[in-house]
Chain A
């Protein structure tokens, strides 16, 4: 089969039974228009954007109060606000009753790598959130306060997050395996009031303490007044004057703040802060609004992913990735979420596969990296289990290559493959699955409903072809701001400066005339290492602190043999007379692992005499990235020192890496 061939034809019966089809018919009745298919529905949803989001809101039966007029304040993507006269409570919408008996339906199932299994019904989860919310209120937490978490992918973390949202606080979390410097770089900016933590975590069979990380964070962030531990482990750091340390049981001893007492907040009330690491500066604290997040996720879950009551979603994620927030919202449509905490390949390489089969997961979300690793291990899922209920595999984080479609098709019978793409920046996706369309090998099915996504090419804006992904109309999951960016300049510079009035996402894509999409990679200097997006600035901060290092540049290089299909290269310039020897290489790698994460560690570090720089004095990662990926350097003329590029190109180690690509 070649690229773009049909992988799965349209299943008419499945299409007609889908929620997307039902919604299309609903819109037809409401607007008196006829929609022959997704393309026509999409054209209308873009043309009449405000009406589309109003109808989706009404059809969804999400609980809101107030006036749905205006749906959107302006047509300009940067300035538009959605539903300024509506109020809602995010957590209420996730935990509300969905009809008789729904409280007894399972909401969350949790499995850990050491085999622990637990579950909560919707009623039990609501009760737990009500108790935690009362505890937060007793600690003085209210609207706009930041509650941060260093937490695993566990039910307790979900309870804490939903309780924070219930009282109008802003939730932000990282995974426990992230390094101290990265934690500090994120949380110091937020001036949080309350910290929620697991005191230890399990990885590859080894239990690791978080006590030191927590203590370091407390030393750096004076605003943290309360620390709540979610597990039974001892927390040895109860030392800071002025802070209250509570176990979860202690926090929850004051009874429950009943759901009907949870206040409704404005549609654009900040709900989550997610961190996007750009090529310069500290990570950006992207604030996502409650209403925009809820409505966009509902659209993605119900219309594009066919989730609803009876469906089980398992997304392989951590609390530090936006897909954690994304999976959480699936509770709003009545789907059950299956949490997995630990290593997917421990104690056996097929550990996660066995869980998917045993838990009868219907939609499995993962990364192209994990699927690639299974292939490398020559692990055959069809020999692990029947996966009888699994109908969809969603892959995100990095590009899912053509051959991976063949492998999935062979190993998981004829499941739908949805290569979805979006990101932290929009806490959702531009590129999604679609039950009304066939699936083509190596391609994502469609652009999400209501999003006028086009490509910016050297010849201008186009509906089809290859170029930078831009969204030209307003969408509700656009961040409501960047924390600390009071005049909006940073948000503007990041997403709107390049193409005024349009959201520029930073991805290169190819939009086909049949509506499918191929994501080609990042267009800026942001790195995508094994599916994890890393800002080079984080790496530079760590590397430049090592004595002897004067300049550094990190770029991603395509490497088909590596998990995730790429590897990280680090180029450094040392102070005069210094040599990059083995001891220094190990020191750099060790610092990057301890202060960043294992994903920050480059595969290769090379010493160069100079780094290419533009005339405005900015180092050009783009030039080096193009060069090490065997492409012509497009901005050579803009370089002040193009000779530096030639010297790098002649570096023997980089040359051999280039040959490996072929």
Chain B
């Protein structure tokens, strides 16, 4: 799980916040991405593609909802519970 967390934070850094992701999260992995400008809805599309490539899961479009993806904690719980999930290297 900690590897997945690092992969997502790195991806957010690489694509959106360029080293400031942890500062924006402020130690709160449940902070809402949408409400705090951490990721916009088009960004979610790119994040899903990244996750599918990185941890070998297939995410249904129906599941791309705030309930599953609107915070780091939600992403970690949802993705790591998916069938076929493989911890990133």
Contact = CB atoms under 8 A, between A and B. Distances in A.
A454 B11 CA distance: 45
Contacts of B36: 206
Given A345-B40, A346-B40, A563-B45, 17 more contacts: A203-B40, A204-B40, A204-B41, A205-B34, A206-B35, A343-B41, A345-B42, A346-B34, A346-B41, A377-B61, A378-B61, A586-B13, A586-B18, A587-B18, A589-B18, A590-B18, A590-B20
Contacts of B64: 377
A604 B61 CA distance: 27
Interface string B27-46: 00000001111001110011
B14 interface: yes
A561 interface: yes
Nearest to B17: A590
Given A376-B45, A377-B45, A563-B42, A204 B37 contact: yes
A205 B38 CA distance: 11
A585 B45 CA distance: 23
Contact of A345 (B18, B37, B41): B41
Contacts of B34: 204-205, 346-347
Interface residues of A, number: 23
A204, A347, A563 interface centre (most CB from chain B within 10 Å):
A204
Contacts of A590: 18-20
- Top 5 A-B residue pairs of the complex, sorted by shortest distance between their CB atoms: A590-B18, A345-B41, A206-B37, A378-B61, A586-B19
A349 interface: yes
The range of chain B's interface size is 10 to 19
B86 to A, nearest CB: 20
Contact of B37 (A203, A347, A593): A203
B82 interface: no
Contacts, number: 49
Interface in B50-89: 61, 64
A583 interface: yes
B1 interface: no
B19 A583 contact: yes
Contact of A593 (B14, B18, B49): B18
A348 to B, nearest CB: 8
A15 to B, nearest CB: 38
Given A204-B37, A349-B41, A561-B49, A587 B61 contact: no
Nearest to A604: B14
Contacts of A346: 34, 40-41
B18 A373 contact: no
B14, B35, B42, B61 interface centre (most CB from chain A within 10 Å):
B42
Contact of A205 (B18, B19, B37, B45): B37
A419 to B, nearest CB: 21
A376 B14 CA distance: 21
Contacts of A204: 34, 37, 40-41
A444 B40 CA distance: 32
Interface of A: 203-206, 343, 345-349, 373, 376-378, 561, 563, 583, 585-587, 589-590, 593
A314 B49 CA distance: 31
Nearest to A370: B42
B41 to A, nearest CB: 4
B35 A373 contact: no
Nearest to A583: B19
A223 B41 CA distance: 40
A373 B42 contact: yes
A606 to B, nearest CB: 14
A595 to B, nearest CB: 12
A206 B36 CA distance: 7
Nearest to B21: A586
A346 B37 CA distance: 11
B13, B20, B41 interface centre (most CB from chain A within 10 Å):
B41
B52 to A, nearest CB: 11
A376 B52 CA distance: 14
A593 B41 CA distance: 19
Nearest to A348: B41
23 contacts: A203-B37, A204-B34, A204-B37, A204-B41, A205-B34, A205-B37, A206-B35, A206-B36, A343-B40, A345-B41, A373-B42, A376-B45, A377-B61, A377-B64, A378-B61, A561-B49, A563-B45, A583-B19, A585-B14, A586-B19, A587-B18, A587-B19, A590-B19
A92 to B, nearest CB: 40
Contacts of B42: 345, 373, 563
Contacts of A589: 14, 18
A203 B38 CA distance: 11
A377 B42 CA distance: 8
A543 to B, nearest CB: 13
Contacts of B35: 205-206
Contacts of A586: 13-14, 18-19
Contacts of A347: 34
A378 B20 CA distance: 31
A487 to B, nearest CB: 43
Contacts of A378: 61
Contacts of A206: 35-37
Contacts of A376: 45
A533 B5 CA distance: 35
Nearest to A206: B37
A204 B41 CA distance: 8
Contacts of B45: 373, 376-377, 563
A376 B43 CA distance: 11
B32 to A, nearest CB: 9
A98 to B, nearest CB: 39
Contacts of B41: 204, 343, 345-346, 348-349, 377
